[in-house]
Amino acid sequence: IVGMRLYGDAGVAIATGVLTFVVLVFAEVLPKTIAALYPEKVAYPSSFLLAPLQILMMPLVWLLNAITRMLMRMMGIKTDIVVSGSLSKEELRTIVHESRSQISRRNQDMLLSVLDLEKMTVDDIMVPRSEIIGIDIN
């Protein structure tokens, strides 16, 4: 309304652009940047607000999910895909790399090598019988 009074019909477009910018900066980019820089300082106090909100909004979320599944079935899209709550190997690898300051280099290398364990072959691990030196117990 203010934009229309000041600039006429073009004021609507100007106000839309300015408000879009303000919302993006102050409601999206700035809070996410602050939370990424100070995760512990933001997450713990936020949990006191978010935990009750999660419980309060659960029926609405359930209803929206049910409607979405129904619409997807009507379109012929399978809805029985199971989403796992566990992390993928690449996500774990990223977490290990990003926690350099909290995990010693030795432990970090060990964790990364555990993630690479499936790439190892039997030849990498086993020692040929001809190279084993032993003592006869009898």
Instruction: Check whether 96 has a pLDDT greater than 90.
Output: no
Q: Could you report the per-residue pLDDT of 30-70, keeping only the tens digit for each?
A: 999 999 999 889 989 999 999 999 999 999 999 999 999 89
Instruction: Check whether 80 has a pLDDT greater than 80.
Output: no
Sequence-distant (6+) residues with CB within 8 A of 5 are: 11
Domain ranges of the chain: 84-129
Residue 83's pLDDT is 62
Q: Could you report the per-residue pLDDT of 99-136, keeping only the tens digit for each?
A: 878 888 888 888 888 888 888 888 888 888 888 888 88
